[in-house]
Chains A and B, each alone.
Chain A
Amino acid sequence: MQALLEVSHLVVDIPGRRGTLRAIDGISFSIAPGEILGVVGESGAGKSLTGAAIIGLLEPPGRVASGEILLEGKRIDNLSAHEMQHIRGKRIGAIFQDPLTSLNPLFTVGKQLTETIRAHLPVSEREARQRAIGLLEDTGIPGAAQRIDHYPHQFSGGMRQRVVIALALAAEPTLIVADEPTTALDVSIQAQIIQLLKRLCHERGAAVMLITHDMGVIAETCDRVAVMYAGRIVEIGPVHEVIHAPAHPYTAGLMESIPDMSVERERLNQIDGAMPRLNAIPSGCAYHPRCPRVFERCQVERPTLIAAGATQAACWLHDAEHGKAVA
């Protein structure tokens, strides 16, 4: 089956006065139709930039320096701003962290929904309004027919995020890029929103790229997960394997540092140090100064994704030659 989204060797640069920073360094992944791919990592790992590059909303001076982004087999990374506008909303929907800043406070939610629907679909104002009400109902907003004429500030945080999801789904896109959609919400609301997102995307067959730092959300929602570190993907594979049998030392360290409800530990495992700054990415494997299993090769040669059991990890431990040397 053809991948819905194919990202290959994507590089994002941010030119600045003191030289160019490489924020995303050659990442490749794909998303199948209807699949939910989680992208996880700590602040500054480049997960949001990856999302922004895909929806064509990289903030200048950030730019795609090389690599390709293909949506349904066609390149979208080199389109003009005007052409990209047609794809954004129609074929790729976006959901951001803060529902208040994603909505225009000066227009009713109905106005914003019908505008989006009419921009992408050939329907009349009345049909668009009917559709908008239907969308709000689908997202579980009670009294949608009345609520449609309310302004964003009249909605609570959870309800606003439902409106944002309705907006993202308005033109029936095939891909949704959701950047930390539940981070600003309380836990009880978070669970509702995650379920909603999962159900709606499943019903409509839309694929989702879910960017989050919360491993719990990933575990419950995604089919596959990509772990990012310092602008690179260090591990990618099925959710269950990545969580229970991580192949990359960074993923393993990350998993053990999360306080978990089901296991009680006296001390949490901590990864000493911090993620490197973009202007001081270490040579070889970017994780090597913090890695407990580092050896010489890690310091000089940069690992690519290597098959490691059910997942793929960018780590020399899984290289065939290393296996031989140890054996």
Chain B
Amino acid sequence: MSAQPLVRVDDLAKTFDVSPPWLNRVLERKPRALLHAVDGVSFEIERGKTMALVGESGCGKSTVARLLVGLYAPTRGSVAFDGQDVHAALAQPSGRALRRHIQMIFQDPYASLNPRWTVEAIVGEPLVEHAIVSERAALSTRVDELLRSVGLSGQDKTKYPHQFSGGQRQRISIARALATAPEFLVCDEPTSALDVSVQAQVLNIMKDLQRERGLTYLFISHNLAVVRHVSDSVGVMYLGRLVEVADKRALFAQPRHPYTRMLLDAIPQMHATGRARTPVQGEVPNPLSPPTGCAFHPRCPHANARCSAERPRLLEIDGVRVACHAVEERRI
């Protein structure tokens, strides 16, 4: 076991200013509005492992992804990659080298590939950009190899994205992400736009590549069944905060946080025909005015006065990190 995790995220926060324009604030006395998209998130990912982040829309999981690859600058906190502070490094001209090691796969394979570029130009761009190869012939061979590694053929490189199906396009995205031989891939809902049989193809390729190249993944998804299949550890997010972080087996065998339990209970299951589920009540609150105390308390069946007043911290309880007063007090 390596002592140092490859990725260490410490108290990461991102606040967006969504205030009305200045004139409205002055004339209509509207206050400034701040959206705490990510609020104090900390986790670690070991080399060669997959950590999954799950949660419903608006919980901040994609913002975490963008913070990790440096697309957003954090409001507070830090991301360390192999011991090096990512955002400090990216501010330097020499930070380009770091970008080679962290790559991202996006959700929508229709929007993330330039329709006017050939596959060779798309997959080859990172190679040229980072001056990994300089000769045309070498570029062409390298693109061939990359396409073959994701199950496409070298002949596909003269085609354009519209000539491919959704699953094939997502493989092109993966090939592009692999071009710089990264160590860490951030995958933001890589299969949610795909059909199930195609999703299986893409997930299998991702697993194979991880085994062959020792890749580390941050896998963002709202689909718990997929998360269970791909991940080693899981972080559950609710309104910008981590409510539970646990080993995959522990999380699925014994979910601790009431929100995790609710999510697990909400998944329609194929092998439980006719089983009546108890659907959760309520919806995710408006992130602009989150509830006081624990953000989940208005929907939580175990909430008491403390939950509505005091925000629970992420504490290690029985080897699992949970942010819940009820779990801490052994009420549940």
Is the beta-carbon distance between A219 and B271 smaller than 8 angstroms?
yes
Q: Which of A190, A239, A274 contacts B198 (CB 8 A)?
A: A274
Q: Which of B200, B265, B268, B277 is most buried by chain A, counting CB atoms within 10 A of its CB?
A: B268
B residues 224-252 in Cβ contact with A at 8 Å? 224-226, 228-229, 252
B93 at the interface (CB under 8 A from A): no
Question: When A and B form their complex, which 3 residue pairs have the shortest distance between CB atoms, in order from nearest?
Answer: A216-B268, A257-B200, A42-B195
Is the beta-carbon distance between A274 and B165 smaller than 8 angstroms?
yes
With both chains docked as a complex, state the minimum distance between the C-beta of B179 and any C-beta of chain A, in angstroms. Answer: 24
Is the beta-carbon distance between A259 and B269 smaller than 8 angstroms?
no
One digit per residue, 1 when the CB lies within 8 angstroms of any chain B CB and 0 when it does not, for chain A 252-295 equals 01110111111111011111101000000000000000000000
A residues 155-195 in Cβ contact with B at 8 Å? 156, 158-159, 186-192, 194-195
Is the beta-carbon distance between B271 and A187 smaller than 8 angstroms?
no
Is the beta-carbon distance between A186 and B267 smaller than 8 angstroms?
no
A243 at the interface (CB under 8 A from B): yes
- Please report the C-alpha to C-alpha distance between residue A310 and residue B266 in the assembled complex, in whole angstroms: 30
Is the beta-carbon distance between A219 and B273 smaller than 8 angstroms?
yes
Residues of A within 8 A of B271 (CB): 219, 243-244, 260, 262-263
B305 at the interface (CB under 8 A from A): no
7 A-B pairs whose Cβ atoms sit less than 8 Å apart in the complex = A191-B265, A195-B277, A220-B277, A257-B199, A258-B196, A261-B264, A271-B197
Is the beta-carbon distance between A214 and B200 smaller than 8 angstroms?
no
B111 at the interface (CB under 8 A from A): no
Is the beta-carbon distance between B283 and A194 smaller than 8 angstroms?
no
One digit per residue, 1 when the CB lies within 8 angstroms of any chain B CB and 0 when it does not, for chain A 97-131 equals 00000000000000000000000000000000000
Is the beta-carbon distance between A240 and B228 smaller than 8 angstroms?
no
Stretch with Cβ within 8 A of A (4 or more), from B28-36, B142-150, B201-209: B201-209
Q: Which of B267, B274, B283 contacts A156 (CB 8 A)?
A: B283
B326 at the interface (CB under 8 A from A): no
Is the beta-carbon distance between A259 and B270 smaller than 8 angstroms?
no
Is the beta-carbon distance between A189 and B204 smaller than 8 angstroms?
no
With both chains docked as a complex, state the minimum distance between the C-beta of A156 and any C-beta of chain B, in angstroms. Answer: 6
A302 at the interface (CB under 8 A from B): no
Is the beta-carbon distance between B197 and A270 smaller than 8 angstroms?
yes
A20 at the interface (CB under 8 A from B): no
